[in-house]
Copies of this chain bind each other. A is one copy, B any other.
Amino acid sequence: MKVIQVDRFISDANDKDAAKLRADLKAKGVLLVNLMSSPGSGKTTFLSRTLKDLSDLRLAVMEADIASTVDAERIAALGARSIQVHTGGMCHMDAGMTGAALEGLGTDELDVIFLENVGNLICPAEFDTGAHKNVMILSVPEGDDKPLKYPLMFEQSDVLIISKMDALPYFNFDLEKCRERALRLNPNIKIFPVSAKTGDGMAAWENWLRDARQEL
């Protein structure tokens, strides 16, 4: 079997903007969490559950999407402060776009802001948004081979949420294999298998989030 290599496009223009954003938010005591995954991995359901469970924290959400407001409507229905960002076809958020969204949202009187990035396992991993923590979601139906195929996302993430664990009986997903593959790419990644539907595993993730906010 032949293997050929084609050109790569690299963009790292926005690292300075990201560092400034990160420092400004830290000075205000606001933790920014960048949430990334494939389309349909359950980001919004996972976020909704987290918002409900952590009602003692002041949480807000920035929903990035190419089009539609379906996700932001779901979050707003929970009573959380939220803003919809339309990327106009763009496949990721960068620091400039995140800064604009933060300005629209307002950062006063908040503990944690989630950026729900565009559903994409590739491009968002290449751009520093200014977040303090990068969290990725991989859902059980997507398969345990994803670390092999999208390594950068796993390398760039502080946390791997394995979602839709309630669907495990119906899919050929090997949790241990997935865990090994992720840890081989990134030995420091924290892995939380969860079901946002049943609530299983959510507490461990939520404790991690509380700690990350306190250690900011």
A2 touching B151, Cβ below 8 Å: no
* A145 part of interface (Cβ distance < 8 Å): yes
> Which among A8, A10, A96, A149 has the greatest number of chain B C-beta atoms within 10 A?
A149
> If the complex has contacts A7-B88, A68-B148, are A38 and B119 also in contact, measured as CB distance less than 8 A?
yes
B148 touching A67, Cβ below 8 Å: yes
Q: Which residues of B contact A142 (CB under 8 A)?
A: 38-40, 141
> If the complex has contacts A1-B72, A104-B2, are A39 and B84 also in contact, measured as CB distance less than 8 A?
no
Copies in the complex: 2
Which stretch, A15-23, A46-54, A121-129, A204-212, touches the partner chain B? A121-129
> If the complex has contacts A67-B149, A89-B152, are A139 and B40 also in contact, measured as CB distance less than 8 A?
yes
* A85 part of interface (Cβ distance < 8 Å): yes
> If the complex has contacts A86-B5, A121-B39, are A70 and B148 also in contact, measured as CB distance less than 8 A?
yes
A-B contact pairs, 29 of them (CB 8 A): A1-B76, A2-B105, A4-B100, A5-B88, A6-B90, A6-B97, A7-B90, A38-B38, A38-B119, A38-B142, A39-B142, A39-B149, A40-B142, A40-B146, A66-B122, A68-B148, A68-B149, A70-B149, A89-B126, A89-B152, A91-B120, A91-B123, A119-B122, A119-B149, A120-B120, A120-B121, A139-B141, A141-B142, A141-B167
Binding site for B on A (CB under 8 A): 1-10, 38-40, 65-73, 76, 82-91, 96-97, 100-101, 104-105, 118-123, 126, 139, 141-143, 145-146, 148-152, 164, 167, 170-171
